[in-house]
Amino acid sequence: MDCLFCSIVAGKIPSSRVYEDDVCYAFRDIHPQAPVHILVIPKEHICCANAVTSENSATVAKIFEVIPVIAAEQGIDKSGYRVLTNCGDDACQTVKHLHFHILGGRKLSEEMA
């Protein structure tokens, strides 16, 4: 399967890693939209939020355990940050491998859409 983020997990495409464990991988977005813009992804290929099931939801839970650790490491846990995932065309999901954006480091827009 030709998946950009699977290739990043496999180290075939370089990335700026900020966190890694056996379940998930986090790296800096190549086109940051905020001073801190990090993507947290499962190492296993899950295409999007639609594909989260009872079989793989522990992976997603682990990602949400890791997000505050990363936020603290980046110094944005106190000031605040946004976590979002795009699912499907209307949400403009461009990479079809589940990923959670962590955005912070400045006051973010009140608009979410």
| Residues that bind ligand 5GP in the complex, under the rule CB under 6 A | 4, 13, 15, 27-31, 39, 86, 92-95
Residue 97 appears among annotated catalytic residues: no
37 part of the interface to Zn ion, by CB under 5 A:
no
Q: What single-letter amino acid sits at 91?
A: A
Question: What residue 97 binds from Zn ion, ligand 5GP, none (CB within 5 to 8 A, per partner kind)?
Answer: Zn ion
- Which of 43, 45, 62, 101 is in the footprint of Zn ion by CB under 5 A? 45
CB of residue 8 to Zn ion, shortest distance in Å = 9
- Residue 55 and residue 66: Cα distance in Å, rounded? 19
Positive or negative, the CA dihedral 58, 19, 101, 70 is positive
Residue identified by tokens 């939020």 is 49
The residues pairing with 83 across neighbouring beta strands, listed in sequence order, are 102
Q: Residues with catalytic annotation?
A: 99
